Chain A
Amino acid sequence: MEDFFELAGQKFRSRLIVGTGKYKDFAETKKAIEVSGAEIVTVAVRRVNITDPNKENLLDYLDPKKYTILPNTAGCYNADDAVRTCRLAREAGVGKLVKLEVIGDDRTLFPDVPATLDAAKILVKEGFIVLPYITDDPITAKKLEDIGCAAVMPLAAPIGSGLGIRNPYNIRIILEHAKVPVIVDAGVGTASDAAVAMEMGCAGVLMNTAIASAKDPILMAEAMRQGVEAGRKAYLAGRIPKKLYATASSPLDGMVS
C-alpha cells in the first residue's frame, strides 16, 4: 500500500523528521540519518568560525539533492531574529521550508506563542513554508493554521526531555481540528513514544536528542524508523476498542466435555 506523507504539495515516504544536532561527528550524523530513513532533516543557522573556517561543512555530509533541508530558528527569542534567520536560510538555496521556533525561556525551551504567531504571519507573507513548533495548545494550532502554516508541530514534552507525549488529549483535540499535518516535535524519548504519536494519527514525528544522545544512536535511529512505521500502520489498520473484560480468542464451540 502506498502511503505518502504530504507536506506543502511534496510527497515523502518517511514520516520521521530528524535533527542533525548533538552527534559526535558528521560521519555519525550521516549514518544515523541514513538508517532512520528520514527524508527531511533539520539544521540550524550559525556564524561561520572565521578563525578556523576550513572545518568540514554539514552539507558535505547531507546532500541537499537527497534530503529536504529544514532550517530551524532555534535559539531565537523574538520574532525579528526568527524572521532574520529564515531569510538567511532561504538565501542558502535549500528551499522555502522553515521550522519556526521562537523560544520563550531557556529552562523549559517552551515557545513564546505570541512571538511565534507574529513571525509566522511575516514568513507566510514572504512565501516561506512555515512549520511552527508550538505548545500542545489547540487554539494556537488553529491560529497558525489560519495564518497559513503548512503544518503545526506541537511538542510532546520539553525539547530534549525524553518524556514522551505528556498530554495526549490535547494532541487528540489538535488532530481532530487540524486540516494541515500535525507533527509531534520534541520530547520523544524512545521508539514507543514515536509509535504512540503515530497511532494517534499524527502525520509525522520530529526528533533529535532521542536518537543523537542514545547510547547507540545508529541503533536508535533504526528503532525510531520502525516505531514510526509501526505506529502509522497501526493507525491505518484501526485498533480494536479498549474493553474492561475479556473476549475469548478461541471458539467456545467444540470443546471436549
Chain B
Amino acid sequence: MLRRILARLAVACATLFAVSALVFLGTEALPGDAATATLGREATPELLAQYRAQLGLNKPLLERYQSWLRGFLRGDLGKSAPNGEPVWKLISDKARNTAALAIATLILLLPLALALGILSALWRDRMFDHTIAITTLVLISSPEFVVGTLIAIALGVWLNILPPLSLIDANQPLTSQLQALVLPVLTLLAISVAQMTRMVRAILLDVLRSDFVQVATLKGASKWRILAHHALPNAAGPVLQVIAFTVGWLVGGIVIVENVFQFPGLGVAVTNAVLGGDLPTVEAVTMLMTAVYLGATLVADIGAILIDPRLRRRT
C-alpha cells in the first residue's frame, strides 16, 4: 500500500511540474507583459525598457523559467512583478481568507449534501426527490457569477441585510468580519450542494440496486438497517471521491465567486496577477491551488483504500 501511495505522490509532483511549465508558457503567450500592464496607456518606449530591464523580462524564456523553478524548489516564490514585494507576503493573507471561505463552505456542504443525497435516493421519485432534482438542476446549470450576483442583489441590495461586497480589512481579525463571508459561502454552497447531492444520490441508488441489498431486503431487513449496515459503508469509497471532486471544483469556483464579491482571496489575487502580467504571483497561486486539488484527490484515494478491503487486497 505504501508503494501505491508513493507512486501517487510522484505522479502528483510530476503534475505540479507540468502545470508550472504550462502556466509559464500560457502567461507568456498573452499579449503584453508586466511592463505594459503596469504602465498601461502611459507607457513610453523608454519607461518600458527601464521596467523590462529591472524585472529581468528581457532575458530568454527558458532562463526565466529555470530561475523561477530553482527558487520554487528552494521554497522561494519570488517577487511580485509590479512592486517587488515577496509573493508569499502578498498572498499569505489572501490564502488565509480563501481557506476560511473554503472550510466554511465544506463544513456546511458535507452534512447538507449527504443528507439531501441520501434522502433523495431513499425517497426516489417522490415529491421530495423531484423538488430536490429540479432545484439542483437549475443551480447546476446557472454559472457561478449569475447565482452570486442574484444573491448579492437580493440579500445585499434589496433586503440590505448583508454587505453586497466582501470588503475585508486585513488589519482586523477575520473573526470580527465573519458577515463578509456569508454571501460568498452561500453562493458556493448553493452550487456545490446541488452538484454533490446529485452525485451522492446516484452512488447510493447504484448501491441500493446491487445484489446484496436485494438479498438483505428479501431477508426482511428494515430500510434504515439496510442503509446503515449495507448501503452506506459500500457507498463511502465513491462518496470520498465525490468530496475530492467537489474540493477540486471549489478551487475553481472560488476564483469566480471571489471576483463577484471582491472577496480578498487567492481568486482575486490570481485574476489581478494575470491582468497585470505578474508571472511569479500567477505561478504561486496556481501551484497552491493545484497542490490543494492533488492533495484532496490523494487523501480520498488513501481513504478509499482504507475503507474498502477489496482495494487493499489488490496491491
Binding partners A and B:
no
